[in-house]
Chains A and B, each alone.
Chain A
Protein backbone atom coordinates (compact mmCIF):
# COMPACT_ATOMS: atom_id res chain seq x y z
CA UNK A 1 0.00 0.00 0.00
CA UNK A 2 1.09 3.54 -0.63
CA UNK A 3 0.48 6.48 1.69
CA UNK A 4 0.92 10.14 0.90
CA UNK A 5 1.34 12.84 3.55
CA UNK A 6 0.93 16.56 3.07
CA UNK A 7 1.83 18.24 6.34
CA UNK A 8 0.79 21.78 5.39
CA UNK A 9 -3.00 22.23 5.49
CA UNK A 10 -2.65 25.85 4.34
CA UNK A 11 0.02 27.96 2.72
CA UNK A 12 0.04 31.59 1.69
CA UNK A 13 2.15 33.41 -0.88
CA UNK A 14 2.25 36.89 -2.29
CA UNK A 15 1.74 37.43 -5.97
CA UNK A 16 5.01 37.09 -7.95
CA UNK A 17 6.72 35.27 -5.07
CA UNK A 18 7.78 31.64 -4.85
CA UNK A 19 6.18 28.99 -2.65
CA UNK A 20 7.02 25.36 -1.95
CA UNK A 21 4.43 22.75 -1.01
CA UNK A 22 5.65 19.66 0.81
CA UNK A 23 4.77 16.03 0.24
CA UNK A 24 6.18 12.80 1.58
CA UNK A 25 5.14 9.32 0.61
CA UNK A 26 5.67 5.78 1.70
CA UNK A 27 5.81 2.85 -0.66
CA UNK A 28 7.33 -0.59 -0.89
CA UNK A 29 7.12 -0.49 -4.68
CA UNK A 30 10.22 0.01 -6.76
CA UNK A 31 8.37 1.36 -9.77
CA UNK A 32 5.94 4.22 -9.19
CA UNK A 33 4.92 7.66 -10.31
CA UNK A 34 4.18 10.86 -8.42
CA UNK A 35 1.77 13.63 -9.29
CA UNK A 36 0.63 17.06 -8.20
CA UNK A 37 -2.99 17.91 -8.96
CA UNK A 38 -4.64 21.30 -8.55
CA UNK A 39 -8.31 21.65 -7.55
CA UNK A 40 -9.61 25.24 -7.77
CA UNK A 41 -12.71 26.08 -5.73
CA UNK A 42 -15.79 24.43 -7.27
CA UNK A 43 -13.80 23.36 -10.30
CA UNK A 44 -12.40 20.10 -11.45
CA UNK A 45 -9.03 18.65 -10.59
CA UNK A 46 -6.31 19.16 -13.15
CA UNK A 47 -2.85 17.69 -13.43
CA UNK A 48 -0.03 20.09 -12.66
CA UNK A 49 3.01 17.89 -13.00
CA UNK A 50 4.10 14.24 -12.91
CA UNK A 51 7.37 12.55 -12.06
CA UNK A 52 8.53 9.06 -12.93
CA UNK A 53 10.40 7.59 -9.95
CA UNK A 54 13.04 6.03 -12.18
CA UNK A 55 14.03 9.45 -13.52
CA UNK A 56 16.59 11.38 -11.52
CA UNK A 57 15.88 14.66 -13.25
CA UNK A 58 13.23 16.76 -11.57
CA UNK A 59 10.16 17.46 -13.70
CA UNK A 60 9.31 21.05 -14.66
CA UNK A 61 6.26 22.59 -16.30
CA UNK A 62 6.64 26.32 -16.88
CA UNK A 63 6.40 27.96 -13.43
CA UNK A 64 5.94 24.62 -11.67
CA UNK A 65 8.82 22.36 -10.72
CA UNK A 66 9.36 19.52 -8.29
CA UNK A 67 12.15 18.55 -5.93
CA UNK A 68 12.12 14.76 -5.97
CA UNK A 69 14.27 13.16 -3.28
CA UNK A 70 13.80 9.44 -3.78
CA UNK A 71 15.84 8.25 -0.80
CA UNK A 72 13.97 10.59 1.52
CA UNK A 73 10.64 9.80 -0.21
CA UNK A 74 9.97 13.47 -0.60
CA UNK A 75 8.24 15.19 -3.52
CA UNK A 76 7.77 18.93 -3.08
CA UNK A 77 6.19 21.34 -5.56
CA UNK A 78 7.68 24.75 -6.21
CA UNK A 79 5.54 27.44 -7.77
CA UNK A 80 7.51 30.40 -9.08
CA UNK A 81 6.12 33.85 -9.90
CA UNK A 82 2.84 32.99 -8.16
CA UNK A 83 -0.33 34.28 -9.77
CA UNK A 84 -3.79 34.86 -8.35
CA UNK A 85 -5.04 31.99 -10.51
CA UNK A 86 -2.75 29.60 -8.66
CA UNK A 87 -5.02 29.79 -5.62
CA UNK A 88 -6.43 26.31 -5.16
CA UNK A 89 -6.20 23.08 -3.22
CA UNK A 90 -3.10 21.14 -4.25
CA UNK A 91 -3.00 17.39 -3.91
CA UNK A 92 0.05 15.20 -4.04
CA UNK A 93 -0.61 11.68 -5.31
CA UNK A 94 1.28 8.49 -5.96
CA UNK A 95 0.61 5.62 -8.34
CA UNK A 96 2.41 2.31 -8.37
CA UNK A 97 3.02 0.44 -11.57
CA UNK A 98 1.26 -2.62 -10.15
CA UNK A 99 -2.08 -0.95 -9.46
CA UNK A 100 -4.57 1.44 -11.00
CA UNK A 101 -5.48 3.79 -8.16
CA UNK A 102 -4.06 7.17 -7.41
CA UNK A 103 -3.31 7.55 -3.70
CA UNK A 104 -3.86 11.13 -2.62
CA UNK A 105 -2.70 13.20 0.32
CA UNK A 106 -5.12 15.41 2.25
CA UNK A 107 -4.18 18.46 0.26
CA UNK A 108 -2.70 21.89 0.86
CA UNK A 109 -4.84 24.97 0.41
CA UNK A 110 -2.79 27.70 -1.30
CA UNK A 111 -3.82 31.31 -0.84
CA UNK A 112 -2.33 33.92 -3.15
CA UNK A 113 -2.45 37.51 -1.95
CA UNK A 114 -2.05 40.59 -4.13
Chain B
Protein backbone atom coordinates (compact mmCIF):
# COMPACT_ATOMS: atom_id res chain seq x y z
CA UNK B 1 0.00 0.00 0.00
CA UNK B 2 1.56 3.27 -1.11
CA UNK B 3 1.37 6.03 1.44
CA UNK B 4 0.99 9.76 1.01
CA UNK B 5 3.84 11.22 -1.03
CA UNK B 6 4.98 14.82 -1.34
CA UNK B 7 7.27 16.53 -3.77
CA UNK B 8 9.73 18.12 -3.41
CA UNK B 9 10.98 17.08 0.01
CA UNK B 10 13.04 20.25 0.34
CA UNK B 11 12.77 23.63 -1.32
CA UNK B 12 15.03 26.63 -0.88
CA UNK B 13 13.89 29.84 -2.49
CA UNK B 14 14.54 33.56 -2.35
CA UNK B 15 12.07 35.96 -0.88
CA UNK B 16 9.56 37.10 -3.46
CA UNK B 17 9.65 33.94 -5.57
CA UNK B 18 6.69 31.65 -6.12
CA UNK B 19 6.81 28.00 -5.10
CA UNK B 20 4.51 25.06 -5.72
CA UNK B 21 4.30 21.81 -3.79
CA UNK B 22 2.59 18.61 -4.81
CA UNK B 23 0.82 15.99 -2.71
CA UNK B 24 -0.28 12.55 -3.89
CA UNK B 25 -2.71 11.00 -1.41
CA UNK B 26 -3.31 7.33 -0.78
CA UNK B 27 -5.07 6.23 -3.96
CA UNK B 28 -8.59 5.56 -2.70
CA UNK B 29 -8.69 8.47 -0.26
CA UNK B 30 -11.19 11.17 -1.19
CA UNK B 31 -10.23 13.64 1.56
CA UNK B 32 -7.04 15.68 1.50
CA UNK B 33 -5.61 18.17 4.00
CA UNK B 34 -2.72 20.62 4.11
CA UNK B 35 -1.00 21.61 7.34
CA UNK B 36 1.95 23.84 8.16
CA UNK B 37 4.44 23.00 10.89
CA UNK B 38 6.99 25.51 12.17
CA UNK B 39 9.92 24.64 14.39
CA UNK B 40 8.90 23.62 17.88
CA UNK B 41 5.19 23.65 17.08
CA UNK B 42 2.56 21.13 16.19
CA UNK B 43 1.04 21.16 12.71
CA UNK B 44 -1.52 23.87 11.99
CA UNK B 45 -4.42 23.28 9.63
CA UNK B 46 -4.41 25.19 6.34
CA UNK B 47 -7.09 23.73 4.09
CA UNK B 48 -9.25 20.71 3.31
CA UNK B 49 -10.55 19.09 0.11
CA UNK B 50 -13.30 16.58 -0.32
CA UNK B 51 -12.72 15.15 -3.77
CA UNK B 52 -12.02 18.26 -5.89
CA UNK B 53 -13.96 20.69 -3.72
CA UNK B 54 -12.09 22.91 -1.27
CA UNK B 55 -14.46 22.92 1.68
CA UNK B 56 -12.51 24.63 4.43
CA UNK B 57 -9.72 27.18 4.65
CA UNK B 58 -7.90 28.42 7.72
CA UNK B 59 -7.26 32.08 8.45
CA UNK B 60 -3.58 31.13 8.11
CA UNK B 61 -4.15 30.71 4.38
CA UNK B 62 -3.48 34.26 3.22
CA UNK B 63 -4.18 35.57 -0.27
CA UNK B 64 -0.69 34.53 -1.32
CA UNK B 65 -1.58 30.89 -0.78
CA UNK B 66 -3.70 28.85 -3.15
CA UNK B 67 -4.45 25.16 -3.20
CA UNK B 68 -6.05 23.02 -5.84
CA UNK B 69 -7.12 19.45 -6.33
CA UNK B 70 -8.29 19.53 -9.94
CA UNK B 71 -9.37 15.95 -10.48
CA UNK B 72 -9.88 14.86 -6.92
CA UNK B 73 -6.57 13.03 -6.88
CA UNK B 74 -3.28 14.90 -6.33
CA UNK B 75 -3.21 18.39 -4.89
CA UNK B 76 -0.92 21.39 -5.27
CA UNK B 77 -0.19 24.18 -2.82
CA UNK B 78 1.24 27.37 -4.29
CA UNK B 79 2.76 30.23 -2.35
CA UNK B 80 3.22 33.47 -4.25
CA UNK B 81 5.71 36.17 -3.34
CA UNK B 82 7.24 34.08 -0.57
CA UNK B 83 8.26 35.72 2.69
CA UNK B 84 10.74 34.55 5.30
CA UNK B 85 7.83 33.81 7.61
CA UNK B 86 6.64 31.17 5.16
CA UNK B 87 9.62 28.99 6.07
CA UNK B 88 8.12 25.84 7.53
CA UNK B 89 7.36 22.20 6.89
CA UNK B 90 4.24 21.79 4.75
CA UNK B 91 2.44 18.55 5.48
CA UNK B 92 -0.20 16.83 3.43
CA UNK B 93 -2.58 14.23 4.81
CA UNK B 94 -5.34 12.14 3.32
CA UNK B 95 -8.22 10.07 4.61
CA UNK B 96 -11.06 7.94 3.38
CA UNK B 97 -14.53 9.16 4.18
CA UNK B 98 -16.51 6.62 6.15
CA UNK B 99 -19.75 6.50 4.19
CA UNK B 100 -21.49 4.42 6.84
CA UNK B 101 -21.44 7.14 9.48
CA UNK B 102 -22.09 10.85 9.24
CA UNK B 103 -18.97 12.19 10.87
CA UNK B 104 -15.68 13.69 9.80
CA UNK B 105 -13.36 11.74 12.01
CA UNK B 106 -11.73 9.31 9.66
CA UNK B 107 -8.05 8.83 10.44
CA UNK B 108 -5.69 11.16 8.62
CA UNK B 109 -2.49 9.68 7.17
CA UNK B 110 0.40 12.07 6.73
CA UNK B 111 3.05 12.42 4.06
CA UNK B 112 6.72 13.15 4.77
CA UNK B 113 6.30 16.88 4.20
CA UNK B 114 8.01 19.54 2.11
CA UNK B 115 10.48 21.66 4.02
CA UNK B 116 10.49 25.22 2.67
CA UNK B 117 13.30 27.64 3.42
CA UNK B 118 12.87 31.22 2.27
CA UNK B 119 16.13 33.20 2.21
Do B43 and A104 have beta carbons less than 8 Å apart? yes
Contacts of A50 in B (CB 8 A): 107
One of B41, B56, B105 near A33 (C-beta < 8 A): B105
Report if A47-B104 is in contact (Cβ < 8 Å); known contacts: A100-B55, A101-B48, A104-B43: no
Report if A45-B91 is in contact (Cβ < 8 Å); known contacts: A99-B104, A100-B104: yes
* B contact residues, total (Cβ < 8 Å): 27
One of A47, A52, A104, A106 near B109 (C-beta < 8 A): A47
Contacts of A4 in B (CB 8 A): 42
B38-81 contacts to A (CB < 8 Å): 40-45, 48, 55-56, 58
Does A103 sit at the interface, judged by CB under 8 A? Answer: yes
Stretch in contact with the other chain, from A12-20, A66-74, A80-88, A89-97: A89-97
Report if A104-B44 is in contact (Cβ < 8 Å); known contacts: A44-B111, A44-B113, A46-B110: yes
> What's the Cα separation between A107 and B42 when bound, in Å?
6
CB closest chain-B residue, reference A6: B42
B63-119 contacts to A (CB < 8 Å): 91, 93, 103-105, 107-113
Contacts of A95 in B (CB 8 A): 104-105
> What's the Cα separation between A35 and B55 when bound, in Å?
23
Contacts from A to B (Cβ < 8 Å): 4, 31, 33, 35, 37, 43-47, 50, 52, 91, 93, 95, 97-107
Contacts from B to A (Cβ < 8 Å): 3-4, 31, 33, 35, 40-45, 48, 55-56, 58, 91, 93, 103-105, 107-113
11 A-B residue contacts at CB 8 Å?
Answer: A33-B105, A45-B43, A45-B91, A50-B107, A95-B104, A100-B31, A100-B33, A100-B104, A104-B42, A104-B43, A107-B41
